[in-house]
Amino acid sequence: MTFFQAVISGVVQGVTEFLPVSSSGHLIILHHLLKIEQDFLFDIFVHLGTLIALLIFFYSDIISLFRKQKKLFSLLIIASIPTAIIGFMWGDIFSRLFVNIKSVGIMLLITAVWLLVGDISSRFIKTKKQIPNVFSAFLIGIAQGVAIIPGISRSGTTISSGLICGLDRESAFKFSFLLSIPAVFGALLFKSKDFSLSCNPNLIIGMLISGIVGYFCLHLLLNLMRKRKLYIFAIYCFAVGVGVLVLNG
């Protein structure tokens, strides 16, 4: 991968990993447009960059999980169970089946609908919760597992599922991304076992860019959710999904 490709891929990963538009789907679209062969080692590094951004952004919340919020910690473990099962049993199958560009377009349309349902639900549910119950946590974990399909946004499905289950917007945001930390960490460990460490500087560049861009995108998403503008991403996913299908029909 060239320096230019590493920079562009790092930016795209940083923006789309946290904004609810599917990072895997956008990387497939980007690689299709720029004729870049998928580099799994590079993917590991840019995901490592966004994982570091998550750890920095949620540092105080992570510390609080072990000191004060034991119930929330337990719910995150419960939600992680279906994610781990789905990823372990069907992760490779889904990645192979849905890696083509047309499938990404279809999945982006599904993401758009999911986001709209979550946004509309949050406007009609009167009583909002700060943490989910056990059943809701399990459902959110299933939603995260389904997001292994390229084009299905992990943050979009988990945040929307949290809203549908009655969480307030900031709590849905927080639960979604705290839940993603063990999932991303586990996925990185699973993928990295097949690779040896490389000293290619483009890997480091991609990791740094994805981490920095991702950190600011977390702030952006939180601000947009506070302003009740999650629907913006539904419109975007719908437009990109339709565009992909039309151009590759």
Tens place of pLDDT per residue across the chain (249 aa)? 688 888 998 999 999 999 999 988 898 888 888 887 766 677 788 888 999 999 999 999 999 988 888 899 999 999 999 999 998 888 777 766 666 889 999 999 999 999 999 999 999 988 889 999 999 999 999 999 999 888 999 999 999 999 999 999 999 999 999 999 998 888 777 766 655 555 678 888 999 999 999 999 999 999 999 999 999 999 999 999 999 999 986
Residue type, 10: G
Flag whether the pTM goes above 0.75: yes
Unique residue bearing structure tokens 């597992």? 145
Give the pLDDT score at 45: 85
Q: Which domain holds residue 27?
A: 3-247
Per-residue model confidence (pLDDT) at position 193: 63
**Domains contained in the chain, number:** 1
N-to-C CA span, the chain: 29
